[in-house]
Structures are given as structure tokens and as C-alpha cells.
Amino acid sequence: MSAIPPDEMLVVEAVRKSFGGTQVLRDISFSVRRGEVFGIIGPSGSGKSTLLRCITQLERVSGGKIRVCGETMVSDAPDGTARYAPPAALRRMGLKIGLVFQNFNLFPHFSVLRNLTEAQIHVLKRPKDEATERALGLLKRMGLESKAGAYPCQLSGGQQQRVGIARALALQPEVLCFDEPTSALDPELTGEVLKVIRDLAERKMTMVVVTHEMDFARELADRILFMDGGVVVESGTADEVISRPKHSRTQSFLGRLRR
Amino acid sequence: MQFWPMVGGLAKGLGTTTSIFCLTLLFSLPLGLLVALGRMSKFGALRQAMRLYISVMRGTPLMLQLFFFYFGPYYIFNLNLGKLGFWGLDYRFVAVVLGFSLNYAAYFAEIYRAGIESIPVGQREAGKILGFSRAQTFFRIVLPQVVKRILPPVTNEVITLVKDTSLAFALSVMEMFTIAKMEAAAHTTMVPFMVAGLFYYVFNFAVAAAMEWFEKRLDYYA
Ligand SMILES: Nc1ncnc2c1ncn2[C@@H]1O[C@H](COP(=O)(O)OP(=O)(O)OP(=O)(O)O)[C@@H](O)[C@H]1O
Ligand SMILES: [Mg+2]
């Protein structure tokens, strides 16, 4: 336990995940350090979303190990099944990992402000004033201070996604995961969301970003993992993986993206 | 026949009609939610039991169900409930409210279920990611959105209920339709039926207006 350096925020070891008979994740290992932007790329169906969903506990792994901030979330039991930590520990770890959804999943019946305060008040039990103050501060950072009273349906996709990011940040997670945060947006709106993520990177927020935006990944990611068919094909610095990929599968994937 | 005393008698019946209506909604709306949750439970036995319940309630006549609740205790258990001890309630009235509540709960359950299933799974997932418990996610995030979506079909059921209360005449509960029928027979005239019809219409007009107002109030989001 104590051998793990404290700045390993997320450690994934030999994680496997099957749905019924189909094995979607076969053997995934990587670790994310504090303050790092970790990019995950790969073709459609390679299991990127499934991997994020396992890390954020929306899915249960079939096997392997996941550690969050030094605490074991799940590990292999001797009988070969996955052994999860007790519910209270899982909840605690869950709150350390935020997720920004591809399609935002904002709460349509709440104002923007309440989207940001609801969990602070009812999950973290923060006083309402404090929650509101934090929410307004975040909206300001997102350039959305004038939208606090608006409802999600009144916002553009780019604005909605920035609210989605602010909502996740309001709980002050240690690690923030993004599942293709811009792929549901019109091209002219991706920039404003990428700008927010860039700003978070400058503030040394630890992030795991699944993306199809290679230029963005190369610019921001400290390290990149390329996966295909549920396995890690290659990983390394952004430069290594995107500019000088070693594996032919990585090369052909990147080649296809460049057209 | 004197007109105003007849109208007065019907108005008194309207009071009973309104009690049946309100009590039925009071019991069947929450009960329907429980049935819907059971119907979607991960426990197969509970799921099947609720499925059977809904199927029987919807598949047999409401009037037959009223008879069942009224005569059942006597025929099956030899219990004579004639006058119930508490509040001096007439068991006829109790049987009617019981029958209506259980019957309408089945219809409401299916409306709730359709509503709950129509909420995108992403809403639940967002709730879970933000640390809400399952109950918090349901009551704070899912249910409010369900209410908005199911208002139109619920309005339909509520309007049907206003009219269905007249079935209580089968157990001779002194609600408006029973009284109209008695007045009409006593004086061989259609007038009581027409006045009762007008009362039902006005009642439903008010119900529809109230539901519309409620829908408008929830119009603030799409
Ligand atoms: N709940 C599920 N049940 C069965 N199969 C699933 C489920 N979720 C995902 N899969 C399968 O797992 C595989 C990986 O899906 P996943 O969504 O993780 O891929 P992805 O890399 O995120 O793809 P994309 O780039 O298109 O988002 C796919 O073949 C998919 O059909
Ligand atoms: Mg995906």
C-alpha cells in the first residue's frame, strides 16, 4: 500500500469487462499522476467509453484492479471475480472522480445555478450560500455568469457542455474524466469547450480525456493511450503516440483521421 | 316535483361524489407509484405479482370489483362490516373508495411506468456520478421530470374518474348519480339526469382547467 506514491491519482491494472459473452475490455493498464492530462484515443467501439464508465463506477468491471488516490476500489478476488470495496468506500471514491458526458446530461428541470448547487447541498451537505457562491464563481470562470437563471434548454450546446463541466467541478473531484466532450457539438462550438479544458489543464486539474480531437490531444495531453479491441496498443507521451506511432494499428488509425 | 329541492338533493350527492373522487386520488396516486416501482423491480416475484395485479384490475369490470370489495368480506369470510366502527363510516362507501383506489392505482401505475422509462438513462447516471443516492436521484431528478411528461394521460384518467364515480350507484352509495336515478324514478322525469349531467360537466371542466394550469406551470422547461 505505502509503496504507491501519493501522486498516483488513478491506477488501472489489467482491467477486464464483458457484457454477457462479449469481452469489451480485455486487459487495460495505465496510471494517471496528479496534475496530468491523460488522453485516451482509439477507433469507435474500442471500449473507451466502457473504460471511463468502469472508472466512474457506472459499470462494474469483470476483473482487474482500480485504485483511486491510493485506495483500492476493486481488485481480483481469489476465485477470479472482481471484489469491490464496501459501499461507503465506493461512494467516497466515486466523489473523487467526476465525469463530463458526451451529451451533457444536464438536469432540464433545474436552472443552471441549481444544476451546480443541488449535489453540493444534498450530497456534500454544504450550506446553500456557500454552494451558491462556489457555483457562481465557476459559472464566471466558464463565461456563463449571465446564465445562472437560465434553463439548459435555453443554452447552446457549447454552453450546456460548459455547464456540465462546471457541475462536475462544483464537487471538487480529484480527477475529472471527459468522454468525447465536444463530439456532440457543432464544429464552431467545440472551441469554447476546449478552451475551458485548456484552462483547467493550466490550473493542473488531473484529467482523463477520451477524444477524437487529435490536435487538441497532442497540444494538451501529457500522455496518451491508444486502445483498440479492448487492449492498450500503445501508450506514451503525446508526441510519441501521435507524431511517431510505433504500431501499425496506431499508424493506420491516425492516418484514417488525417484522411 | 319541486325543482330546487331536487337540485339541493343532487348537490348533496355531489358532495359524496367529490369525497369519492378526492379520496380515490389521494390513495391511488401514491399507490400507483408503488405498484409501478414494484412492476420495474429487480425482484422477479414482485415484478410478476404487480404485473398480475395490473392485468386483473384492468381486465375485469370496475363494477364487478366494487361488488367484490363490498360482498367479499361477507361471502368469503362471513364478516358483516355493515357499519364500520371508526367514524361511523358506511362500509358501502369504504368499499367504493377501496375499489376505485385499487383500480385506478393500476392505471396510474402503467402511466408512471411509461413516464419513468421515458426519462433518458443519462439522467440517472448523472445523478449517480454526482453522488446522489438512488432515492435522491429518483425523487429529485427523475420524478419531477416524470410528472411533467405524464400530466396529459393523468388528466384523462382523472376525468374518467369523475364520471366513474357514478358506478357507486351499484352499491347504493348516496352520490349524485344514485340520487338522480331515485329522483327520476320517483317523479318520472328526465330533469334530474340533465341537472346531474350538467354538474358532472362543470366538475370536469374545472378538473381540466386545473390540470391545464398545472401543465402551464411546468412549461418553464422543455
Ligand atoms: N451495455 C452494453 N451491453 C453490451 N455491449 C456493450 C454495452 N456497452 C458497450 N458495449 C459494446 O462494447 C463495445 C465498446 O463500446 P464503447 O462504447 O466503450 O466504445 P467506444 O470506444 O467508446 O466507441 P465510440 O468511439 O464510438 O464512442 C462496443 O462494441 C459496444 O457495442
Ligand atoms: Mg464512446
Q: Mind giving me the DSSP string for A80-114?
A: SSEEEPPHHHHHHHHHHEEEE-TT----TTS-HHH
The pLDDT assigned to A3 comes to 55
Interface predicted TM-score (ipTM) over 0.85 = yes
* pTM metric for this prediction: 0.91
pLDDT digits (tens, 9 = 90+) for A182-203: 999 998 899 999 999 999 999 9
Q: Which atom of ligand 1 is nearest to the CA of A227?
A: 21
At A9 the three-state DSSP class reads strand
Tell me the domain boundaries of chain A: 32-56+87-258
Predicted local confidence at residue B222, as pLDDT: 80
Q: Which residues of B touch A166 (CB under 8 A)?
A: none
Name which of A96, A109, A114, A161 to mutate to probe chain B: the one with the most chain B Cβ atoms within 10 A of its Cβ. Answer: A109
Domain A32-56+87-258 has CATH 3.40.50.300: yes
Q: Is A246 helix (H, G, I), strand (E, B) or coil?
A: coil
In chain A, the residue whose alpha carbon lies closest to the alpha carbon of B132 is A123
Which residues lie near ion ligand 2 (Cβ < 5 Å)?
Answer: A 49
Q: What CATH number corresponds to the domain at position B126?
A: 1.10.3720.10
Residue of A98, A151, A171 lying closest to B220 (CB–CB): A151
Which H/E stretch holds residue A6?
none
pLDDT tens-digit map of A119-175: 999 999 999 999 999 999 999 999 999 999 999 999 999 999 999 999 999 999 999
Q: How far is the CA of A180 from the centre of ligand 2 (A)?
A: 7
Which of A118, A155, A176 to substitute to test the interface with B, most B CBs within 10 Å? A118
Nearest to B91 by CA among B182, B173, B26: B173
Q: Which of A19, A153, A180 has its CA nearest to residue A99? A: A180
Tell me, in angstroms, the distance from the centre of ligand 1 to residue B74's CA.
60
Ligand 1 within 6 A of A44 CB? yes
Is residue B83 very low, low, confident or very high in pLDDT (cuts 50, 70, 90)? Answer: low
Cα nearest neighbour of B219 on chain A: A109
**Tens digits of residue pLDDT in A223-258:** 999 999 999 999 999 989 998 999 999 999 998 877
- Selected residues 97-136 of chain A with any CB under 8 Å from a CB in chain B: 98-99, 101, 103, 105-109, 118-119, 122-124
Q: What is the pLDDT of residue A144?
A: 95
CB of B222 less than 8 A from some CB of A? yes
Q: How many domains in chain B?
A: 1
With a cut of 80, say whether residue A110 has pLDDT above it: yes
Expressed as residue numbers, the domain containing B148 is 3-221
Angle CA A45–A48–A53, to nearest 5: 120
What mean pLDDT comes out for the span A18-23? 93
